Structure 1
């Protein structure tokens, strides 16, 4: 914001001090308005503190159907496109934090912004997921505004955080020669975009990227680390005081809870389609 210079021909020291204080207050108010709330001495996204769920925080993950708001947990993870601000408001009124599920590594032909993605960034289909194709995450300049718009939507609806999906294209068959370095650079951009909008952000799967990314993300979301015997790779989040929201599909709670409970994970058994059903440790 530009300000016109003040011309004071005969001002006392007290008057000058008053003007200085007012300018500082106005500058702070301007920062607060842009950030969506009061600021501290930390003004940049990299330095601000974001909601960081503690290890063991219970949660519900539902991506299809009308959200069942009756589950007595402090955190809900729901689809960002399919749910309105009213759903988020309802969950907030019951004291819940709400995470916005958004795919950042794939193009989905049913999403309202599908036509905004140029053909050059759309790669091979995801196995077993009809209508979904990998993105070329090397094209940061092209994908940045598209993902920024998605995160703007999450912020505008009042979500507290983002669950970015498909953050590990390089270990799949994306149709592009992606490297781990490409993926890490893209995922760091995703963290930055979320934080710029005041949103916390989770690392989805991507267990081999945890050493590089644990400091940039506020929690983790993991699928089937017990089934694949790799839960130890996600434990640095717990050691950093950050929740690991964990799900198994093929194993029962009797099978995986003895593995994940000692680690401090927030573990659920879910159906593959991620409806409202859940079983907990």
Structure 2
């Protein structure tokens, strides 16, 4: 009969204890495997990011080749006080015009896509020259970026156009417009030089700012308009694609903005007549629509809050649904 050693049971054999150096080797191997796994994950993330970046560049490059620029005389509607109310599955919108300008932040990519289904071009409105305290990116502005409050517009302040932070924020807005599928941008309030801005803004500041916005827009295949700012047209006409002006008839500035027509570029023209929308006099309408030099402008009558109501040269008026 086989003898058993103390501490052992018959028929079984204990595994010898694992030497300390073997345990360290196992731990080392585990760490090495984890390290390799982390490297693989980082490589995968890098590949995905690079692929997405290339896809964005490809879209921008493709868009740039077919970049839409509005034509003189195209019909237009602008609605800024609320997002458009439009069914993306069965889109319908009135009036049936060529171009819509709507707010960049308030309207979704689905709304832009719905307008595209209806063969509309879509312009993204945002204020490039003022801070608006209700915008989703308002916290990104530094205290030093802000000037005096904008008269008659609560929650708005003029912006330092030379600020790299301001320009970066505007670049992000332009990128957002591209991501949502807009065809163009309408950057507002670029004429701070003519207002009490508290920042010493000059025409040269606006010219340089518009050139930077134009360069950024074209990177994504977007066209860009000049909003008002008639004094700097000669310096920026070559870098913008169309013009949006408010009340050039009222302020006797028609001739100023005719420069765009002479250059073969569209002019979108808004007047805010007294009594709009219900009681604009026939005399007032005749003075606006019959103003010499505006014959090739796309002229609208609107209320100051830029709601859905609009009236055209032919006397037809519409209310675009919002909500």
Asked whether the two chains share a fold, i.e. TM above 0.5, the reply is yes
Task: Report how far residue 138 of structure 1 moved.
Answer: 2.1
Give the structure-1-normalised TM-score.
0.82
Counterpart Cα distance in 2 of 1:159 and 1:198: 10
The answer for the alignment partner of 1:169 in structure 2 is 192
Q: Which residue does the alignment assign to 2:109?
A: 85
Is the CA contact (8 Å cut-off) linking 1:238 and 1:263 kept in structure 2?
A: no
Judge conservation of contact 1:35–1:197 (CA < 8 Å) in 2: no
- Alignment of 1:248 onto 2:267: no
1:78–1:90 CA distance, 2 compared to 1 (3 A): same
Deviation at 1:54, TM superposition (A): 1.3
Match of 1:158 in 2: 181
Does structure 2 conserve the Cα–Cα contact (< 8 Å) formed by 1:226 and 1:260?
Answer: no
1:29-71 deviations in whole A, cap 9, x for unaligned? x98861416659xxxx7xx673221111110000022426221
Tell me if the contact between 2:101 and 2:122 (Cα under 8 Å) persists in the aligned partners. yes
Moved over 3 A (4+): 30-33, 37-40, 260-263
SS of structure 2 residue aligned to 1:175? coil
Confirm or deny that 1:190 pairs with 2:207.
Answer: no
Determine which structure has more spread, i.e. the larger CA radius of gyration.
2
Equivalent residues of 1:31, 1:39 under 8 A apart: no
Aligned mate of 1:200, from 213, 223, 228: 223
Q: In 2, Cα distance between the equivalents of 1:221 and 1:194?
A: 17
Q: 2:120 is matched with which residue: 88, 93, 96?
A: 96
CA 1:156–1:239: 2 relative to 1, 3 Å: same
What's 1:268 paired with? 300
Task: Give the distance between the partners of 1:119 and 1:110, measured in 2 at CA.
Answer: 16
TM-score, normalisation: structure 2 = 0.72
**How much does 1:214 deviate?**
1.1
Residues 225/35 of structure 1: CA separation in 2 closer, same or farther (3 Å cut): farther
Aligned residues: 245
Distance 1:88 1:176, change over 3 A: same
Name the CA distance, whole Å, in 2 between partners of 1:87 and 1:39. Answer: 22
Distance 1:276 1:225 in 2: 21
Secondary structure at the aligned position of 1:245 is classed as strand
List runs of 5+ in structure 2 lacking aligned partners: 1-52, 86-92, 275-283, 314-323
Preserved CA contact (<8 Å) 2:260 2:266? yes
Partner of 2:152: 128
Unaligned 5+ residue runs, structure 1?
Answer: 1-29
Query: Which of 109, 119, 129 is the equivalent residue of 2:143?
Result: 119
- What's the offset of the Cα at 1:263? 3.9
1:63 to 80, 95, 98: 80
RMSD of equivalent CA atoms: 2.0
